[in-house]
Amino acid sequence: MSQIIVAQNVNGIVLAGENRATHLDDSGKEIQLDVNRLLPLTSHTALMLAGAAEGRDMGNALKDFLLGEKLNDVQDVYGAALAYLSTEYERFMRKKCESLPLDPIHQVSFVLAGRTEQDQKMPFRLYFLWTKKKLPRLDGDEISNAFSLPRRMGLEFQLNKMCKENAPLKEILKKMTEGMEQLKMKGEVSGPFSFGMITKEGYQSLNP
């Protein structure tokens, strides 16, 4: 599973993802793909994609849907995204299971990140959309500070501490970057990586 890491405080949100995915063709053969796991949805929201490469197609479809609905506040986007992606995910799973047995490689999950105007004390929000139950549908949970998938508890602990102290986003980004590089040196991730940030000004890509 490719690595994603997210963290937030009152200053904004920092996002990091490893752009690698494993895809199964119709014969069941594994194919390695590069997939940009960080997808801006609106001016103030973005989606992190975890799991199967098809999550990118689901994310792009959601982006078009949100554009038509003219939604931007992350709390409004969350409700719409959970319903929309649940339908897309169920369609994806039904199609996959027609030709291949159910396998963890088919799993898709998302982290929705963004800004809200509805809560001045907590202007930024993170939501984890995943298969919480065994049925092939998505549920959602709010993320308080920092989260990684696969879980990296040591790094999460450090990021949580920084977030609770409302550290500058540049410091959080530095810690995330160092964490990704350490995982790469251990051979646990391979890259390339994508980084992004959401502040009151909106979403910003941090890649060259």
Distance from C-alpha of 119 to C-alpha of 107, rounded to nearest angstrom: 33
Q: What residues of the chain score a pLDDT lower than 70?
A: 1, 21-32, 95-106, 133-137, 208
The architecture (CATH level 2) of 4-202 comes to 4-Layer Sandwich (3.60)
Tens digit of each residue's pLDDT (9 = 90 or more) over 115-170: 999 998 999 999 999 877 665 568 899 999 999 999 999 999 999 999 999 999 99
* Mean predicted lDDT score pLDDT of the chain: 88
Query: Is the full-model pTM beyond 0.85?
Result: yes
The total of other beta-carbon atoms located within 10 Å of residue 11's CB is 18
Half-sphere exposure of 169 (CA within 13 A, CB side): 20
Distance from C-alpha of 137 to C-alpha of 133, rounded to nearest angstrom: 8
Triad 62, 68, 69: Cα angle to 5°? 85
